[in-house]
Amino acid sequence: MEYSFYDFLKLLGSLALFLYGMKIMSEGLQKFAGDRLRSILTAMTTNRVTGVLTGMLITALIQSSSATTVMVVSFVNAGLLTLSQSIGVIMGANIGTTVTAWIISALGFKVDISAMSLPLLAVGIPLLFSQKSSRKSVGEFIFGFAFLFMGLNLLKTNAPDLSANPDMLAFVQNYTDMGYFSVLLFVLIGTVLTMIVQASAATMAITLIMCANGWISFELGAALVLGENIGTTITANLAALTANTQARRAAMAHLMFNVFGVIWVLFLFEPFLSMVDWIISDFMNINEAGGVAVSFKLSAFHTCFNVCNVLILIWFVKPIEKTVCKLLPQKEQEEEYRLQFITGGMLSTAELSILQARKEINLFAERIRRMFRMVTDLLHTDDETAFNKLFSRIEKYENISDNMEVEIANYLNQVSEGRLSSESKLQIRGMLREVTEIESIGDSCYNLARTINRKRRGSEDFTQGQYEHIHEMFHLTDEALKQMIALVEDVHHSEDVNKSFNIETEINNYRNRLKNQNVIDVNDKKYDYQMGVHYMDLITECEKLGDYVVNVVEAHCDVKEKKA
């Protein structure tokens, strides 16, 4: 056999170039159209059909179903998409990813696009070094496109010539003549390969090359494609490992969808292949010699499989949702991080939409108070594992608060674009200020957690007196938050606003007293200077948090006055 280890390394290098090209092409396009992709994803998932179309569009654009599904999982984790919305987008992503195979079939085998790769790099290099981020992203896309087809060409060049290596051909053929067992074996090989490479596009390219060179039959190529569809779900499931239950359910739904599709196609394998053969040979009239027709057949099989699977399962989104909820039950003390009142779009009247936004703001305020209580628990958590887990949860809450601010603000801006009275417009302005200030409280909670984390990394600890003062400050801050929520949720306007201002004055006075005392205690060597810094960071951040609370109260009072 004339295929050396050096040749094998060249093959791996070609695959690496192909994967790298796919990665930076996808990333370049995501950076160029990132915000637009996010707004499309959140705006166009009102029903299962638009969800499927959105998933198709985004995946066809960024050429990576893994990128789309990981994005979807992160959006579910942040509460921007519901589980049923995410299932529709994932179904669409499966159809969108088939575009890659058609591009490779049309360009990679018919046209020597790798000959254009170097001129493309020449065009892309000035853009890559541009100061403007959008041009730089376009440059990355061009480089990725060039590397993709250079890698594909090198894969074809460095793949072992089985006709010149009869030993290897015999090895492959040992497993191709076992009838239906061969099909199942190649489904497994396709699954494992894609799980290892973590890019179905790369294993699809390898499959197309193997079929085009006549090393395996069209039937076994189709079996590999089925395996690739299962293997590609591993990326989203890996991304969901550290996410919440809803995100893990979305990734599980992706796996279920693809596995179910592979099972029913395996039952109808021969008739399904005959249908694809008819589409390519008779309907599309592609009968060219060599590997071109086979590559088009595989691309058509990939598309037909995913389209048929979506057409069948689009009617079973709710049962899929119920199944994954049973398989992955909600953990105790884990919250579903999603908007509850404004996910379904605007209501018939602006007044009703404002009412829904008000409910969401109330929920936002309650979550932020819960986040502050986690910070209080963090201060007294001694176990390393428990501390890291709680700190990660606070970090996650901070990201959620950022996303909630953006989503509620976008919703209110949408409402304000409608026909509104001047009173309603002023009301929305006040609500926008409330949302901004509540998010700032979340930032303060995260800053408190980071200070506690920094203190923990040192060898010293707070004195008993410092702990008592921190407890008192935390208690005052929690009272301020409690009063703020009571005012925000007060439907009958019976709560006294002055309570909030009195607590804020108390917090300010207590901070000033502790600040002066801290200087004396450091001079008297009761604790070292660094512990004094950590101590005052906590006290000062609580005072800042109190200011944000008062801002929320003032904004809410303005809204009430304008409404009255």
Highest mean pLDDT among 85-99, 108-122, 444-458, 485-499: 444-458
Which residues are CB-contacts of 272 (< 8 A; sequence separation ≥ 6)? 265, 301, 304, 305
Q: Could you tell me if 312 and 381 lie in one domain?
A: no
Q: What pLDDT is recorded for position 456?
A: 87
In whole angstroms, give the CA distance from residue 472 to residue 479. Answer: 11
Res 375: pLDDT: 93
Report pLDDT for 471: 93
Question: For residues 409 and 432, is the Cβ–Cβ distance under 8 A?
Answer: yes
- Domain assignment present for residue 122? The answer is yes
Domain membership of residue 337 (yes or no) is no
- Over residues 48-65, mean pLDDT: 75
Tell me the residue range of the domain where 19 lies.
5-327
Same domain, 380 and 318: no
Is there a domain that residue 356 lies in? Answer: yes
* End position of a domain, from candidates 327, 358, 377: 327
Domain assignment present for 190:
yes
> Are residues 367 and 420 located together in one domain of the fold?
yes
Most confidently predicted of 64-68, 78-82, 105-109, 417-421 = 417-421
Q: How far apart are CA 2 and CA 165, in angstroms?
A: 7
pLDDT confidence of residue 481: 93
Same domain, 297 and 357: no
Clarify whether residues 313 and 449 are in a common domain: no
Task: Give me the pLDDT at residue 291, please.
Answer: 46
Give CA–CA dist 412/425, Å, rounded.
10
Name the band, by pLDDT with cuts 50, 70 and 90, for residue 46.
low
In a domain, 343, yes or no: no
Q: Are residues 65 and 124 in the same domain?
A: yes
Q: Quote the Cα angle for 33-317-343, to 5°.
A: 55
> How many residues belong to the chain?
564
Q: 355 and 315 in one domain?
A: no
What percentage of the chain exceeds 90 in pLDDT? 16
135 falls in which pLDDT band (50, 70, 90)?
Answer: confident
Q: 239-297, pLDDT tens digit by residue?
A: 676 666 777 888 888 888 888 988 988 888 888 888 887 777 765 555 554 445 677 78
265, 293, 327 - which closes a domain: 327
* Residue 480 vs residue 91, higher pLDDT: 480
Q: Which parts of 431-516 are beta strand (E)? A: none
Model confidence over 151-187: pLDDT tens digits?
Answer: 767 776 776 655 555 555 455 556 666 667 778 888 8
Q: Which two structure tokens, joined as six digits, stand for 270? A: 């021969």
> Do 86 and 21 share a structural domain?
yes
Q: How confident is the model at residue 324 (pLDDT cuts 50, 70, 90)?
A: confident
Q: Answer yes or no: is pLDDT of 445 > 90.
A: yes
Average pLDDT over residues 393-415: 85
Q: For position 205, what pLDDT does the model report?
A: 75
- Condensed to tens digits (0 to 9), the pLDDT of residues 520-562 reads 988 988 888 888 999 999 999 999 999 999 999 988 887 665 5
Say how far residue 551 (Cα) sits from the centre of its chain: 33
CATH number assigned to the domain comprising residue 510: 1.20.58.220
Count: domains in the chain: 2
pLDDT of residue 539: 93
For the chain, the average pLDDT equals 79
**Is 144 a member of any domain?**
yes
For 328: left if phi > 0, alpha if psi spans -120 to 50, otherwise beta; the answer is beta
Contacts of 58 (CB under 8 A, 6+ apart): 37, 40, 41, 68, 71, 89, 92, 93, 96
Domain-embedded: residue 178 = yes
Residues 369 and 299 in one domain: no
